[in-house]
Amino acid sequence: MKFASARSGKVVIEEMETPKLNDGDILVRMKACGICGSDLEKVYGSYGMASKRIGHEIAGEVVETKSDSFIKGDRVFVHHHVPCYDCYYCKHGDYILCPDYQKSNVEPCGLAEYIRVPKWNVEKGGVIKIPDSMTFEESALAEPLACCMKAINKIGTIENAAVIGAGPAGLMNAMLLKASGSDVFLIDTNDFRLDFAQKYDLIGINAKDDVANIIKDATEGLGVDAVVVATGNVRALDQSLGIVRKGGKIMIFGVPSKGSLLNFDANRLFSNEIQILTSGYCSELETKVALKIIENKTIDVESLITHRFPLDKAPEAFDLAHRGEGMKVVVTG
């Protein structure tokens, strides 16, 4: 069978035998898998987490099972990382900090014809049945939506916000904020992405313009309640300090490269009581809610998809996503 992997700064298609199942495992045929910003960082950047496997926004169909929980033909979303729900971090709600979270994974990755989902993921709830009313592509995007939802929940109730980075995750964050009643400014240098975002009734600002004054003028000189940094470029944090109000919050959501260093005036944070938050991953608890949001059409995630590629064209899919010439790019099986 075919699968995609990251090799020396590029994506290649490789061949391997279809994974054999152990007791409790299931085998899923990939039907749709989104390309995430963290996937791009693994290929073209310097990803700081343990796993270098690409593809984790996985939806597909069960084709073989050694688990009593699923049968052949079940339509499912698959989580690649699943916590134990029993350690110190899990008991305090910090599921993604669980030591087992990063250790768990699918084989060989999400961008494969067939994916072995281990017993751990199956028994811990990492495989979720999806309704017939939802497409596989919609279901695959439940994972990034869940990550955004977790970040927005950390921020709490606000009246207005700015999102720096108008990529797929930035737009999802902005759409969730908009749905909650917030006015949202969307900031980017990519004209295609800013033009694309107009259909969602967001206030687009080119980062090359005088962003701080534009936002201050629109907020009676205060600045926004919160800024979501949906880019891995840490220089955006400095820009955030210029547009967030006193007592506001900055959410670091984009994946920074390993070794990225921050350089800003810490006294500015202290004296203005600005909070810096981080959030970038989710558990199946958030994904179940995200699937409901998609099923109810509260957020139209499928409208974000601009390009679809078959698995053997995954290298071209990554190149296009890396160039920023599309919005959400999905690989189909």
- pLDDT of 257 reads 79
Nearest to 27 by CA among 102, 122, 100: 122
Does the residue 42 lie in any domain? yes
- pLDDT of 205 reads 96
The DSSP output letter for 97 is G
Half-sphere exposure of 24 (CA within 13 A, CB side): 9
Cα torsion angle, 73, 333, 18, 285, sign: negative
Phi, psi (deg, nearest 5) at residue 89:
-65, -45
- Alpha-carbon 229 to chain mean position: 13
> Residue 211 sits in a domain of what CATH number?
3.40.50.720
Q: How far is Cα 259 from Cα 288, in angstroms, rounded to an integer? A: 33
Domain count, the chain: 2
Does the residue 285 lie in any domain? no
Does the residue 290 lie in any domain? no
> Residue 96 sits in a domain of what CATH number?
3.90.180.10
Together in a domain, 170 and 85: no
Does the residue 38 lie in any domain? yes
Together in a domain, 221 and 262: yes
Together in a domain, 314 and 270: no
Domain hosting 171: range is 146-278
pLDDT along the chain (333 residues), means of 10: 93 97 98 94 73 90 98 97 96 94 93 98 96 96 96 96 96 96 95 93 94 97 98 88 96 86 86 94 93 94 97 97 94 96
Together in a domain, 248 and 327: no
